[in-house]
Amino acid sequence: MNELLKFYEQYKISPVSQDISDLEMHFSRRIGLYRTLGLTPLLFKDRDVLEVAPGSGFNSIVTASFGARTYDLVEPNTTGFNKMACIFENASNGKTAIRFFNCRLDEYQEQRSYDVVLCEGLIQGLENQEQFVIRLANYLRPGGILVLTCSDAISLFFETLRQYISRVLVAQAGSLAPGATRFAQVTEMLTEIFFPHLRSLKGMSRPVSDWVHDVLLNPTVPSESIENEFSVARCVEILGNEFWLYGMSPDFLTHLGWYKEISPEPSKHNQAYLESFYSQWQSLLHYRETGRPDARRNLLLHGYCQQFAETVAGKDPLNPPVLSHQAILQELEPIRQILSLTESCELDLSHAALAQFLGLFEKGIPTPADIAQAGAFGTAFGRGQQYISLVRAEQGSGQLPPGKKL
């Protein structure tokens, strides 16, 4: 059992709920995402679909409405699986044959292939990413579409800052109960502090407490930005010889090749997107700005973001160490380097947010009210997860590197 699943099972949570009180809006959002990735509802019709880690099934009820021939959902978290079963009891699924499996992907024994395979919000927290992704890809037929999510130290950076602040505040909170009661107390405290931040996001559609569980208290999240980072580049590195990069959300990459000159080999086709990714990487830092492209500078930015994520990863979310003010200032040194880079990258909103973040610690430990009321920092969020769709090459049009098997 991986650390993410252990965390969910320990506290009996599935922090991926969605507000579906406006069902039409919920469907519209999901269909809009699929459209950006090159998947219209018609593409699912009479097809075989596999979704791994659908959570509580809020998004899956949209996919189930597209008229797929079969739809298999594999969810290992017991709490999420039970919630999904309840949601589907009240959903209209037409003639689609839907099956539910409460197991991990490595326990899934179905010997069949699919036209579409979906997996979001999971791979970033796994240690065996390459093995998992290849196993997932093995279920796709040639010409089939794979949808995954990616993230990295830059896109998650402002969440990393909030993780750091949450560790500082929990350490300063004094007497907290042990076990599940402590988890509930910390959840309540952080929900109140960060509610004003999340209220600034117009598209926010899940409970703040779920966000606190999944982003601030989830022990695997900081590691997503270090050794377990599953960036767009890492995804293409694993699958790029056998899959064509097809679509993205946010769609920030460009391929300016003329269609008559595009290489028949997926790896060469994808290389243009990789070059665009490294050049445009800074645009993932803040969702309201893009900045000035510069691949070399972006590597520096990524390095400092990773360095700070490593600092956060060393602190237990529920039992962090109490640090002196001087020790905290030393740990914030990478932030000062990033502040300088945001100026040269012309990332003005990020620069203002980081300046305010550093200012919170100038004279001591900030209060919960200071953090809740921080305007520039409070409205700063990265582009988080990037959705990526890839098309499996037809037979003979691409091959995996030596030693890999699909």
Residue 161, strand partner residues: none
Q: Are residues 212 and 69 in the same domain?
A: no
- The verdict on residue 66 lying in a domain is yes
Chain segment 378-388, per-residue pLDDT in tens: 999 999 999 99
pLDDT for the residue 222: 66
On whether residue 250 sits in a domain, the answer given is no
Query: Are 207 and 86 contained in the same domain?
Result: no
Number of structural domains in the chain: 2
Confidence (pTM): 0.93
Identify the domain boundary among 85, 119, 150: 150
Does 71 map to a domain?
A: yes
Burial class (CB in 10 A: 0-12, 13-18, 19+), 227: exposed
Question: Is the Cβ–Cβ distance between 388 and 160 less than 8 Å?
Answer: no
Residue-range definition of the domain harbouring residue 359: 157-227+286-378
In angstroms, the CA 300 to CA 306 distance is 10
Q: Is residue 261 part of a domain?
A: no
User: From residue 390, how far is each of 37, 266, 282, 373, 394 by CA, in Å?
Assistant: 9, 10, 23, 41, 12
Do the domain assignments include residue 62? yes
Structural contact between residues 16 and 55, judged by C-beta atoms closer than 8 angstroms: yes
Same domain, 71 and 218: no
Position 95 scores a pLDDT of 76
If asked whether residues 135 and 186 sit together in one domain, one would say no
**Residue 55 three-state SS:** coil
Q: What is the 3-state secondary structure (H, E, C) of 336-358?
A: HHHHHHHHHCCCHHHHHHHHHHH
* Helices 232-239, 129-137: crossing angle, 10 deg rounding: 60
Query: Assign residue 383 a region: left if phi > 0, alpha if psi is -120 to 50, beta otherwise?
Result: alpha
90 with 70: CB under 8 angstroms? Answer: no
213/321 same-domain check: yes
330 plus 205 within the same structural domain: yes
Quick check: is 406 in a domain?
A: no
Nearest to 51 by CA among 23, 71, 30: 71
267 vs 284: CA distance, rounded Å:
24
215 occurs within a structural domain: yes
| pLDDT of 4 | 84
The residue out of 122, 150, 178 marking a domain boundary is 150
Q: Are residues 53 and 132 in the same domain?
A: yes
Torsion of CA 78, 319, 306, 159, to 10 degrees: 70
**What pLDDT is stored for residue 402 in this prediction?**
39
Closest CA relative to residue 366, chosen from 356, 352, 381, 380: 356
SS3 assignment, position 243 = strand
Own/partner pairs, 296-299, CB within 8 angstroms, 24+ separation: 297/341, 297/344, 297/345, 298/154
Q: Which residues of 109-143 are buried (b: 16+ CB within 10 A; e: fewer)?
A: eeeeebbbbbbbbbbbbbeebeebbbebbebbbee
Helix (H) or strand (E) holding 209: helix 208-211
- Laid out side by side, the sheet with 70-74 consists of 97-101, 70-74, 48-52, 114-119, 140-150, 386-392, 243-249
Query: Would you call 51 exposed, middle or buried from its count of C-beta atoms within 10 A (0-12, 13-18, 19+)?
Result: buried
- Residue 398 lies inside a defined structural domain of this protein: no
Q: What local confidence, expressed as pLDDT, does residue 223 receive?
A: 61
Pick from 262, 293, 288, 242: which is nearest to 382 by CA?
A: 288
Whether 24 and 97 share a structural domain: yes
Give the end of a domain, one of 150, 165, 195: 150
316 and 179, same structural domain? yes
Distances (CA, A) of 53 to 9, 89, 293, 335: 14, 19, 35, 34
Same domain, 92 and 115: yes
pLDDT of residue 224: 61
Does residue 321 have a cis bond before it (omega within 30 degrees)? no
Q: What is the dihedral of CA 324, 329, 335, 337, to 10 degrees?
A: -150
**CATH number for the domain harbouring residue 40:** 3.40.50.150
Tell me: do 317 and 344 sit in the same domain: yes
- The ranges of the chain with pLDDT < 70 are 1, 92-93, 222-226, 395-406
Query: Both tokens of residue 126?
Result: 């796994």
Check whether residue 208 and residue 135 sit in a common domain.
no
pLDDT at position 403: 43
